[in-house]
């Protein structure tokens, strides 16, 4: 019985460790003409509804946006331009990559873009 529990425990830990090795993608950019918290909430709700989006955060104070998504979603700048255009916004200074790649731009850098 102990060996069975040990095997199950090792299997679960192995699966957990493998899932932690999976890197997520990110996108960040400046949003033109966002000025209220309500607008930010509306953007976040809409983008979070997209398949593969893990987190989304529009900051109306700095006019910046950041989200993480599963790499298999393969979202590009064109996707975000289209989505934000439908919501009535333009975006600039698009940056994306894989989490941990060291290429993320600080929010102040995007704000001043």
Give tens-digit pLDDT for 91-107. Answer: 999 999 999 998 989 88
> Which residue has tokens 């976040």?
44
The two three-digit tokens of residue 31, written as one number: 């949003």
> Which residue has tokens 């966002």?
34
The two three-digit tokens of residue 68, written as one number: 């993480």
Q: Residue 52: how many CA atoms within 13 Å on its side-chain side?
A: 14
User: Is 0.95 topped by the overall pTM?
Assistant: no
Helix or strand or coil: residue 29? strand
Dump pLDDT digits (tens) for 40-99: 999 999 999 999 999 999 999 999 999 999 999 999 999 999 999 999 999 999 999 999
């Amino acid at each position: 019985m102990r060996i069975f529990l040990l095997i199950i425990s090792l299997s679960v830990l192995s699966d957990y460790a493998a899932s932690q090795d999976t890197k997520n993608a990110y996108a960040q950019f400046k949003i033109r003409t966002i000025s209220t918290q309500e607008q930010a909430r509306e953007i976040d709700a809409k983008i979070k509804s997209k398949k593969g989006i893990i987190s989304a955060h529009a900051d109306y104070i700095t006019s910046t946006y950041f989200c993480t998504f599963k790499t298999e979603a393969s979202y590009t700048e064109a996707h975000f331009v289209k989505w934000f255009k439908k919501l009535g916004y333009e975006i600039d200074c698009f940056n994306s990559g894989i989490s941990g790649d060291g290429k993320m731009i600080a929010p102040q850098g995007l704000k001043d873009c």
